[in-house]
Amino acid sequence: MGTITYRPLDLVGVIPGQQLNAAPDLIEIVGGNDRWINTTCAPVLFSSSLMSATGAASASQVGAFTNAGSGSPAELARWSIRGNTIRSPITVSVWAMVNNGGTTGTLTVSHGGATATQAVTATSATAFDITITPTSGSAPLELLISGHTDDSNYVVLLAACARYAPTDREAGGTGSDGYAPLGDQLTGTGSSMTYANKPVPTEWLARGWNNMRALARDRVACLATLCHPMTVATTRGNSWTAYESSAKLVGRLHVDGCDNAARSGVLSVYMYAGASTTGKLVIMIGGGHKYELTINASGWQHQTIDLPAGPTVISMYGIRSTGSNEVSLMTAQVFRQVS
């Protein structure tokens, strides 16, 4: 009498061929769905429209603009990217233009040790997709867009958004993000378990459940974004700049209800601090929960926050503590926290 040499991890197997009067086999559907979700799961990483000033609308207030030369490009806007331990490519969609028909502007995207550039010659808002693949560093990682031109005219960044580029990991071992490809083992083709009518261990079926959790943890969704041009970080009178020693509203985010219960989130902020100036950022969640960040220098800070189940408003107040310059809220992002 023959013996089965294949031994499932937990000594329990599911025999292929169990169907609900349908083809392909349900086990094959599990495999196909797992691969499809891995390929297409691409939550938004940030989405921003950029304004240079507040008040009555005018052409000079639209976008982050610069006429810096190639030797010293100007920082235009920055965001934070969480997760992505596998270092998957990211597609950054930008809307940009130049203000003169003979001008060539260049946008440079920097992220995780990599850079990618995009030439801009259109004199009206034009969409470009820039793909960048990080090569170093660990989350959270900054994504920075800078710009320069080939003459004294301007390149303008009007808006930007980003999400993961579609990638297919059909084979290979478990990645650093925890995703374990099913390969062709559940496809019903070649030498797969279903094709050879072998027992399918529950460990393989459990990969479908574990893989979904791994993707949710690593592909962190951004729920709301606020971003101001770095080129006007020090401009007095802007709503996001505080010179006061008393609390001034410098930013507000609306977060739609995205869960059935309260959960933890992360608020990532980039604060600009003028020379020899310190301050604070006070964060209010729906008028209730209060958090306070100390601003000693320009840079990122990441605060774990409590998010209610339903829609809420996050209000941020800037305070100058010492010095004679400004503290400015340049970027704020709310991320879903996955345990």
Domain ranges (residues) in the chain: 8-231, 233-336
Q: Does the pLDDT value for residue 58 go beyond 70?
A: no
Q: Does the pLDDT value for residue 57 go beyond 60?
A: no
Q: For residues 293-300, give the mean pLDDT.
A: 97
Q: What is the CATH code for 233-336?
A: 2.60.120.260
Q: For residues 116-121, give the mean pLDDT.
A: 98
DSSP state, residue 159 = E
Q: Does the pLDDT value for residue 243 go beyond 80?
A: yes
CA angle 76, 55, 330 (to 5 degrees): 30
pLDDT band at 18 (very low <50, low <70, confident <90, very high): low
Q: Does the pLDDT value for residue 217 go beyond 80?
A: yes
Report the chain's mean pLDDT, rounded to a whole number.
86
Q: Does the pLDDT value for residue 337 go beyond 50?
A: yes
pLDDT band at 271 (very low <50, low <70, confident <90, very high): very high
What is the C-alpha separation between 334 and 339, in angstroms, rounded?
A: 16
Identify the helix (H) or strand (E) that includes residue 109: strand 105-111
DSSP state, residue 51 = B
Q: Does the pLDDT value for residue 251 go beyond 80?
A: yes
Count of CB atoms within 10 A of residue 293's CB?
16
SS3 295: strand
Q: Does the pLDDT value for residue 127 go beyond 90?
A: yes
Residue indicated by tokens 């490519």: 89
